[in-house]
């Protein structure tokens, strides 16, 4: 019972339930009884009444009831509460005894059975307690409704009389289908009986009060209040129970406390407090519980009791906190919500804290050498205590002074010896880990870390170094990232001791290195001591013991270290320090973010030691992403002379190497830096990437914020210069700078479809021969995808390039280029759509050069890009007009018309039009050998060239809808271009035009002008174009300007395909433009064709010259 002395008794912690004893049931051999018992105990859920049942034999002996005291006058109580009392009322003294008996109302042997039953009731010996007996008759038949079975009611009352029972205590249990239902009704009835029992018990205890007096019976006040409260709980009256417990609690603290009974008072106060808190949580008033607990702690904190047994107080305090934490936790599991600042974790933490105190006081008070006195004063005749919280060697003793000082001394000694064997660390760790779990739940990561540190320290004290290191290692990085150096140093110191005691070489060195680093807050002399130890380890020697370790552990550790020293094991250690703050700082950088391939790559490694004494190293090496360069980045101590790092000074190591030409365009990264220390043991300190550690990022940030002067010049503050060193962990290798010039000459903008000439001249300024000069020319990739379809590049000037030519001509070989020489190349570009384009001219070559005395063959290239706009050279518009030059919206089959084209130059450069031609589809030209009217015309910007063609749609053409006319082809070039430049043929589609047929065609034949009062003969030709005979009615309307002779009105018939001529002689009367007399024509058979449609073929006006002076005829003819 050593550890459990402080445990709360289970009967205190359980929920009290009414105790009902069942007798007369044979659950082993009788199946019916078994079923009844199972129905009682199975499925006891929250909706069933709270009763604890127990099957007892019919003649079971219940605890004796002592004879009731009639007077308390001479009675002096020996303690507050007997240890067996709660157990007795929970499990031994029933509130009701139920006798089960198999008896049907119509049993043939009723009389005998009734008397047997009465005997059984009598046997139940209750020893004078108030417990009642109830009888349950197990019957095979279903009973009739009450009042109908006369035999039953008569026999029931006779049975009650025989057994001396009240009618309410007799029950019938028909053993039929609905057993569970009957059982539930039965237990409800039992519950009522139990309630009555506990009520009477409460009354009984209360009745004692009047006999008590305040001087001698103080203990009884507490005892009685506790009992009433406990009975109330049994009665499930928790509100009243809480009230009585609270009274009991205040009474406990009114007791006269002295050293001899302090433990008893505290024990009882703890019990009652536990009950109160438990009920408060149960009533869902957690704040009351917390307030009660705080009050309890405040009241009891100072009641330490005997100074020799101070650990008892801390143990008790710890238990108080722990059990409250458990209650709190349990309430949370049942639905209570806790918060960050009020959760069970705090109570567990405090419990752990008191346990730590307990350990300390126990270590002080319990001497190691003491031997347990014989006989053991803690032994009691009964094996336990009569009253809670009393001393085994003076039970029942209530006066202030101990009865026997000698006994008291041995008793205390025995207790101290017992305390010595308590596994304190285990208790503390268990409590801490409980607290950790809680704080994790309530978002307190730092509290969690803190507790884990405590756990680690406790494991250290318990000599479980492996676990200690595991925990400490786990939290160390939290403190490191949050930069709490003082705390980190403390944890590291503990970890160092652990690793020393375990002789864990690698960890020991790692902790030493960090403790020597700049994050450590240790004093200089401690650092000095640690560094000496580290140097010893590096020399494969045994380090000195850590000062705070106990001597026995240290000597064991020294032996372990000696074993480690044996050269059998591997004596090489690799420690990655990137995530720590090690004592050697490292930063590395490439001198530039990029290097040309013909420059040596330069890289610097800076090292700085923060330890108090200089430290030497054997080797420094940098690994790069391309491992073939690693060989250049190593520096090794030569012979016996190691390299030295002086504290506080920055050492710089520079490395140069030449990049390989195949690495052009690639990145070189530092993947790690390794520093080898030691002489006997080899330790490789390694940094990932280009150095830096857990603290350097912040330092660099602070340095950048600082207003102080910094950089290599500021010698006054080396720290600032160090912090301001930036890491450059990668560099690009880029190609050599080309030493050639590339010039482009051209005449922008480009004209659509032309062969645009760009002249490229490349001049070498190299000192050697530029070999294999290659040109890539054309559209720069990455532009609009459609552009590559609409752009063609060629070197061949002889012909216009077509769609088969690519948009980009790659790798045109231009041969070698000697120093100072120049090469020219023309490139022709044809753009078949307008808009801007970017052209790329990429000249690449290779050349031999030397870097650092090393010959390398490197490729150089130079890019030129130009943006060229492409514009249309000219706009072409065309229109259709009649032979009278009137605009036409349709043309008529077999009747000539005129196509006019206008060509407006929009080119900034003069254009030479070579020729133009028509490619007709439906139409035919009226001119037998048409010749271009634009041949060899030069157009300046904004000038316009027009041309007209007389066309006719041949008869027989399909005359519905529109017809295509054809294309207009213009051949041209820039005027400035040389004669052998191929011509550009621009094809312009001509518009479509509606085509129609007419039944009748009329045209007039007349002179080009008339003269006043001279005859003007006009002949009208009327053609019938149908296959029918056409009747034509013609009439000439009178006109003021003309007189005329001829048929004024006529009707004719024209045969199919035939032509009729009508001759009129007009006689002009007025000069100027005159309207000819109107000719009205109508076709009665073709109403669609009338004067209007035909009139467009006829001239409307004529110019009439005035009558001249009488000159000779020749002069008139000339006019």
Partner 1 sequence: MAVCIAVIAKENYPLYIRSVPTQNELKFHYTVHTSLDVVEEKISAAGKAMADQRELYLGLLYPTEDYKVYGYVTNSKVKFVIVVDSSNTSLRDNEIRSMFRKLHNSFTDVMCNPFYNPGDPVQSKVFEGMVSGMMVQVS
Question: Which residues of the shown chain bind partner 1 in the complex (CB under 8 A)?
Answer: 297, 340-341, 346, 350, 353, 443-447, 450, 453, 482-484, 486-487, 490, 698, 701-702, 705-708
- Give least dist CB 276 to partner 1, A: 20
- Give least dist CB 471 to partner 1, A: 15
- Give least dist CB 314 to partner 1, A: 12
- Give least dist CB 531 to partner 1, A: 23
Report d(CA 693, CA 695) in Å as an integer.
Answer: 6
**Locate tokens 């296959």: which residue?**
1027
Give the nearer residue to partner 1 in terms of CB position, either 231 or 347: 347
Report d(CA 898, CA 946) in Å as an integer.
Answer: 13
- Give least dist CB 453 to partner 1, A: 8
- Give least dist CB 341 to partner 1, A: 4
Give the nearer residue to partner 1 in terms of CB position, either 487 or 620: 487
Residue 279 token pair: 């009920």
What residues form DSSP beta bridges with 985?
A: 971
Give the nearer residue to partner 1 in terms of CB position, either 139 or 356: 356
Report d(CA 386, CA 80) in Å as an integer.
Answer: 10
> Angle of helix 424-441 relative to helix 310-333, nearest 10 degrees?
30
Residue 435 token pair: 């607290």
Give the nearer residue to partner 1 in terms of CB position, either 694 or 817: 694
Beta carbons within 10 angstroms of residue 181's beta carbon: 11
Question: Which helix (H) or strand (E) covers residue 877, if one does?
Answer: strand 874-881
Give the nearer residue to partner 1 in terms of CB position, either 341 or 638: 341
Question: Which helix (H) or strand (E) covers residue 228, if one does?
Answer: helix 218-234
Give the nearer residue to partner 1 in terms of CB position, either 277 or 993: 277
Q: DSSP character for 691?
A: B
Measuring CA to CA, which residue among 684, 663, 671 is closest to residue 595?
Answer: 663
CB 377 within 8 A of CB 414: yes
Q: In Å, what is the CA distance from 1082 to each residue of 958, 1032, 1063? A: 25, 6, 18
- The 8 Å CB, 24+ separation contacts for 243-246 are 245/272, 245/275, 245/276, 245/279, 246/276
Sign of CA dihedral 650, 651, 652, 655: negative
Give the nearer residue to partner 1 in terms of CB position, either 2 or 521: 521
Report d(CA 550, CA 683) in Å as an integer.
Answer: 29
**Locate tokens 């801390």: which residue?**
314
Give the nearer residue to partner 1 in terms of CB position, either 696 or 971: 696
- Give least dist CB 524 to partner 1, A: 18
- Give least dist CB 315 to partner 1, A: 16
Give the nearer residue to partner 1 in terms of CB position, either 269 or 934: 269
- Give least dist CB 711 to partner 1, A: 16
- Give least dist CB 492 to partner 1, A: 13
- Give least dist CB 583 to partner 1, A: 20
- Give least dist CB 703 to partner 1, A: 9
Give the nearer residue to partner 1 in terms of CB position, either 354 or 841: 354
- Give least dist CB 299 to partner 1, A: 14
CB burial readout 1016-1034, b (16+ within 10 A) else e: bebebebbbbbeeebebeb
Give the nearer residue to partner 1 in terms of CB position, either 133 or 353: 353
Give the nearer residue to partner 1 in terms of CB position, either 379 or 482: 482
Give the nearer residue to partner 1 in terms of CB position, either 352 or 605: 352
- Give least dist CB 489 to partner 1, A: 9
Give the nearer residue to partner 1 in terms of CB position, either 475 or 609: 475
Residue 621 token pair: 């090496």
Beta carbons within 10 angstroms of residue 733's beta carbon: 21
Report d(CA 227, CA 102) in Å as an integer.
Answer: 38
Give the nearer residue to partner 1 in terms of CB position, either 353 or 1062: 353
- Residue 812, class by beta-carbon neighbours within 10 Å (0-12 exposed, 13-18 middle, 19+ buried)? middle
Measuring CA to CA, which residue among 1049, 924, 907, 899 is closest to residue 984?
Answer: 907
CB 273 within 8 A of CB 257: no
- Give least dist CB 623 to partner 1, A: 32
Report d(CA 707, CA 696) in Å as an integer.
Answer: 19
- Give least dist CB 484 to partner 1, A: 6
Q: DSSP character for 1081?
A: E
- Give least dist CB 444 to partner 1, A: 4
Report d(CA 884, CA 282) in Å as an integer.
Answer: 116
- Give least dist CB 491 to partner 1, A: 10
- SS3 percent helix, strand, coil of the chain, rounded to 5, is 35, 30, 35
Phi, psi of 173 (to 5 degrees): -120, 95
Report d(CA 605, CA 946) in Å as an integer.
Answer: 81
Report d(CA 327, CA 338) in Å as an integer.
Answer: 13
Beta-strand pair 891-892/993-996: parallel
Sign of CA dihedral 114, 115, 116, 120: positive
Give the nearer residue to partner 1 in terms of CB position, either 225 or 322: 322
Give the nearer residue to partner 1 in terms of CB position, either 209 or 294: 294
Report d(CA 807, CA 787) in Å as an integer.
Answer: 8
CB 97 within 8 A of CB 59: no
Beta carbons within 10 angstroms of residue 1007's beta carbon: 10
Q: What are the DSSP calls for 1047-1074, one per residue?
A: -SEEEEEE-TT-EEEEEEEEEE-S-EEE
Report d(CA 448, CA 451) in Å as an integer.
Answer: 5
Give the nearer residue to partner 1 in terms of CB position, either 444 or 668: 444
């Amino acid at each position: 019972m050593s550890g459990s002395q402080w445990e709360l008794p289970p009967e205190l912690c359980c929920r009290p339930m009414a105790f009902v004893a069942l007798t007369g049931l044979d659950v082993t051999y009788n199946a019916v009884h078994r079923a009844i018992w199972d129905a009682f105990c199975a499925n006891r859920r929250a909706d069933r009444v709270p009763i604890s049942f127990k099957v007892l034999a019919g003649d079971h002996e219940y605890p004796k009831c002592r004879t009731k005291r009639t007077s308390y006058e001479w009675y002096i109580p020996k303690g507050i509460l007997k240890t067996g009392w709660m157990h007795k009322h929970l499990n031994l003294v029933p509130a009701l005894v139920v006798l089960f008996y198999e008896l049907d109302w119509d049993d043939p042997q009723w009389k005998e059975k009734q008397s047997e039953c009465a005997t059984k009731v009598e046997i139940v010996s209750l020893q004078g307690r108030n417990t009642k007996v109830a009888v349950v008759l197990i019957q095979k038949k279903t009973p009739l409704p009450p009042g109908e079975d006369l035999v039953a009611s008569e026999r029931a009352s006779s049975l009650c009389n025989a057994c001396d029972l009240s009618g309410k205590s007799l029950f019938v249990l028909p053993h039929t289908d609905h057993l569970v239902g009957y059982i539930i009704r039965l237990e409800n009835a039992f519950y009522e009986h139990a309630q009555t029992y506990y009520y009477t018990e409460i009354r009984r205890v209360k009745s004692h009060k009047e006999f008590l007096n305040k001087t001698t019976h103080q203990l009884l006040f507490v005892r009685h209040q506790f009992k009433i409260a406990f009975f109330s709980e049994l009665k499930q009256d928790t509100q009243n129970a809480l009230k009585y417990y609270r009274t009991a609690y205040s009474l406990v603290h009114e007791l006269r406390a002295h050293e001899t009974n302090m433990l008893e008072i505290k024990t009882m106060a703890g019990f009652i407090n536990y009950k109160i808190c438990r009920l408060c949580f149960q009533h869902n008033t957690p704040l009351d519980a917390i307030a009660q607990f705080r009050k309890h702690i405040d009241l009891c904190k100072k009641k330490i009791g005997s100074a020799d047994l101070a650990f008892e107080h801390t143990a008790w305090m710890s238990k108080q906190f722990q059990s409250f934490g458990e209650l709190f936790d349990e309430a949370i599991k049942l639905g209570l919500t806790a918060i960050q600042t009020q959760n069970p974790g705090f109570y567990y933490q405090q419990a752990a804290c008191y346990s730590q105190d307990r350990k300390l006081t126990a270590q002080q008070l319990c001497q190691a050498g003491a031997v347990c006195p014989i006989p053991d004063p803690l032994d009691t005749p009964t094996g336990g205590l009569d009253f809670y919280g009393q001393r085994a060697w003076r039970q029942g003793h209530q006066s202030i002074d101990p009865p026997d000082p000698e006994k008291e001394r041995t008793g205390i000694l025995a207790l101290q010896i017992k305390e010595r064997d308590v596994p304190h660390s285990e208790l503390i760790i268990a409590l801490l880990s409980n607290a950790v779990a809680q704080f994790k739940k309530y978002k307190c990561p730092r509290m969690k870390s803190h507790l884990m540190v405590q756990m680690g320290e406790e494991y250290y004290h318990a000599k479980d170094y492996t676990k200690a290191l595991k925990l400490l290692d786990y939290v160390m990085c939290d403190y490191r990232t949050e930069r709490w150096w003082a705390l980190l140093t403390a944890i590291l110191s503990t970890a160092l001791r652990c690793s020393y005691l375990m002789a864990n070489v690698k960890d020991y060195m790692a902790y030493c290195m960090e403790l020597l680093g700049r994050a450590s807050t240790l004093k200089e002399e401690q650092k000095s001591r640690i560094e000496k130890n580290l140097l010893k380890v590096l020399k494969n020697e045994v380090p000195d013991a850590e000062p705070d370790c106990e001597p026995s552990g240290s000597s064991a550790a020294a032996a372990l270290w000696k074993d480690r020293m044996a050269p059998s094991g591997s004596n090489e250690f690799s420690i990655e320090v990137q995530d720590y703050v090690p004592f050697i700082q490292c930063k590395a950088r490439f001198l530039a973010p990029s290097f040309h391939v013909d420059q040596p790559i330069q890289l610097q490694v800076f090292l700085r030691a923060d330890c108090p004494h200089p430290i030497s190293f054997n080797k420094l090496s940098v690994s790069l992403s391309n491992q073939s360069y690693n060989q250049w980045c190593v520096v090794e101590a030569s012979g016996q002379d190691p390299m030295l790092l002086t504290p506080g000074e920055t050492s710089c190591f520079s490395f140069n190497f030449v990049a390989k030409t195949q690495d052009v365009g690639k990145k070189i990264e530092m993947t790690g830096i390794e520093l080898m220390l030691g002489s006997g043991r080899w330790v490789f300190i390694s940094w990932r990437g280009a150095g830096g550690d857990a603290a350097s990022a912040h330092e660099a940030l602070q340095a950048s914020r600082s207003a102080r002067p910094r950089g290599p010049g500021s010698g006054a503050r080396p720290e600032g210069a160090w912090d301001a060193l930036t890491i450059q962990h990668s560099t690009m290798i880029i190609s050599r700078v080309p030493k050639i010039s590339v010039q482009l000459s051209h005449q922008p903008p480009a004209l659509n479809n032309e062969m645009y000439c760009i002249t490229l001249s490349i001049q070498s300024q190299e000192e050697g021969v530029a070999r294999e000069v290659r040109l890539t020319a054309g559209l720069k990739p990455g532009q609009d995808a459609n552009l590559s379809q609409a752009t063609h590049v060629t070197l061949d000037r002889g012909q216009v390039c077509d769609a088969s030519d690519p948009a980009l001509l790659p790798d045109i070989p231009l041969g070698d280029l000697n120093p100072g020489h120049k090469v020219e190349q023309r490139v022709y570009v044809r753009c078949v759509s307008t808009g801007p384009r970017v052209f790329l001219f990429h000249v690449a070559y290779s050349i031999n050069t030397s870097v650092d005395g090393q010959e390398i063959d490197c490729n150089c290239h130079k890019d030129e890009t130009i943006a060229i706009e492409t514009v249309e050279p000219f706009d072409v518009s065309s229109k259709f007009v009649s032979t009278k030059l009137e605009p036409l919206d349709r043309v008529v089959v077999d009747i000539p018309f005129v196509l006019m084209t206008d060509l407006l130059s929009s080119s900034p450069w003069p254009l030479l039009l070579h020729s133009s031609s028509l490619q007709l589809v439906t139409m035919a030209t009226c001119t037998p050998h048409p010749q271009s009217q634009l041949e060899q015309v030069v157009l300046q910007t904004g000038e316009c060239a027009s041309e007209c063609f007389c066309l006719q749609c041949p008869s027989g053409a399909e005359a519905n809808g529109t017809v295509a006319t054809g294309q207009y082809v213009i051949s041209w070039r820039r005027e400035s271009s040389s004669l052998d430049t191929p011509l550009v043929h621009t094809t312009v589609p001509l518009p479509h035009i509606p085509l129609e047929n007419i039944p009748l065609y009329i045209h007039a034949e007349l002179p080009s002008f008339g003269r006043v009062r001279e005859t003007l003969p006009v002949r009208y030709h009327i053609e019938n174009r149908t296959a029918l005979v056409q009747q034509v009615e013609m009439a000439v309307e009178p006109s003021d300007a003309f007189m005329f002779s001829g048929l004024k009105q006529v009707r004719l018939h024209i045969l199919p395909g035939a032509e009729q001529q009508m001759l009129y002689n007009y006689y002009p009367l007025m000069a100027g433009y005159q309207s000819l007399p109107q000719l009205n024509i109508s076709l009665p058979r073709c109403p669609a064709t009338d004067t209007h449609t035909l009139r467009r073929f006829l001239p409307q006006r004529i110019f009439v010259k005035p009558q001249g002076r009488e000159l000779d005829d020749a002069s008139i003819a000339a006019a």
